[in-house]
């Protein structure tokens, strides 16, 4: 077995293990975690100054985002949700989300706004992108579900300009050992969990340490 195959199997094993771990949380634990994250997010200066924020709707045991969305609405923020791109597989669009926005199930069985180009916001218009993840480590490496949707979106992140990505996760999604990374994996400058606000950025500058932020820009083929 090649090292590439071994890494792929290890990554999938980690996904399965952490997904089971977060799905095992009770309804009360999920509710408590969601509320604790709201407090951390709303006390963040970057969030307070942001106007447009992309948030995901939780599924598969992910950290609940409904209380966060309600708090952001109450603070006068504009909320956008990810939508599967109808013409470019593996890519996301971001559409305005209000209390009256109709939602549909996409092909991945995730709720998203019904396609309406009048509510579409380009990535350049986003201030903050809240990012889901399956697992993370103490260096800010992120392991997603494997579809690459957010990795492709994060390709457009420039640390000193444009949208700013922040991961949201349960504490149980942290792994003790460094995650096995691929060249297309993109780390995050911040991750917020119920018990901690992790920060790896230095005054907004891009970290260049090996394997911490494996940033790749859109001059290579999509994965």
Q: Is 29 annotated as a binding residue?
A: no
Q: Is 146 annotated as a binding residue?
A: yes
**34-86 pLDDT tens trace:** 999 999 999 999 999 999 999 999 999 999 999 999 999 999 999 999 999 98
Kindly report the average pLDDT of the chain as a whole number: 86
Q: Is 62 annotated as a binding residue?
A: yes
Q: Is 147 annotated as a binding residue?
A: yes
What integer pLDDT is reported at residue 160 of this predicted model? Answer: 66
CB-based contact 182:7 (threshold 8 Å):
yes
Least confident of 8-17, 75-84, 145-154: 145-154
Domains of the chain and any CATH numbers: 3-199 (3.40.50.10420)
Reported confidence tier of residue 4, pLDDT bands at 50, 70, 90 = confident
Query: Does position 29 have pLDDT exceeding 60, yes or no?
Result: yes
Q: Is 66 annotated as a binding residue?
A: no
Q: Is 6 annotated as a binding residue?
A: no
Q: Is 133 annotated as a binding residue?
A: no
Q: Is 150 annotated as a binding residue?
A: yes
**98-116 pLDDT tens trace:** 999 999 999 988 999 999 9
Query: Does position 156 have pLDDT exceeding 60, yes or no?
Result: yes
Q: CA–CA separation, 185 vs 217, rounded Å?
A: 11
Nearest Cα neighbor of 178 from 169, 187, 168 is 187
Q: Is 215 annotated as a binding residue?
A: no
Reported confidence tier of residue 147, pLDDT bands at 50, 70, 90 = confident
Q: Is 149 annotated as a binding residue?
A: yes
CA distances to 121, 136, 138 from 96, in Å: 7, 28, 33
* Vertex 76: Cα angle to 122 and 94 (nearest 5): 20
């Amino acid at each position: 077995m090649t090292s590439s195959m071994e890494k792929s199997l290890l990554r999938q094993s980690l996904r399965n293990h952490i997904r089971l771990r977060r799905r095992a949380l009770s309804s009360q634990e999920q509710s408590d975690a969601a509320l604790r994250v709201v407090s951390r997010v709303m006390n963040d200066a970057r969030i307070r100054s942001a106007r447009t924020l992309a948030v995901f709707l939780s599924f598969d045991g992910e950290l609940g985002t409904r209380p966060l969305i309600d708090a952001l609405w109450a603070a006068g923020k504009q909320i956008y949700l990810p939508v599967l791109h109808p013409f470019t597989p593996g890519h996301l669009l971001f559409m305005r989300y209000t209390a009256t926005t109709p939602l549909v199930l996409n092909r991945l069985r995730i709720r998203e706004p019904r396609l309406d180009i009048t509510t579409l916001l380009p990535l350049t218009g986003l201030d903050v992108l809240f990012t889901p993840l399956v697992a993370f480590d103490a260096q800010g490496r992120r392991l997603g579900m494997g579809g690459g949707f957010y990795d492709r979106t994060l390709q457009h992140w420039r640390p000193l300009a444009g949208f700013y990505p922040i991961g949201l996760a349960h504490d149980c999604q942290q792994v003790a050992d460094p995650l096995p990374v691929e060249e297309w994996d993109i780390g995050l400058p911040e991750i917020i969990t119920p018990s901690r606000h992790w920060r790896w950025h230095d005054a907004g500058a891009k970290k260049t340490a090996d394997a911490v932020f494996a940033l790749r820009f859109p001059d290579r083929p999509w994965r």
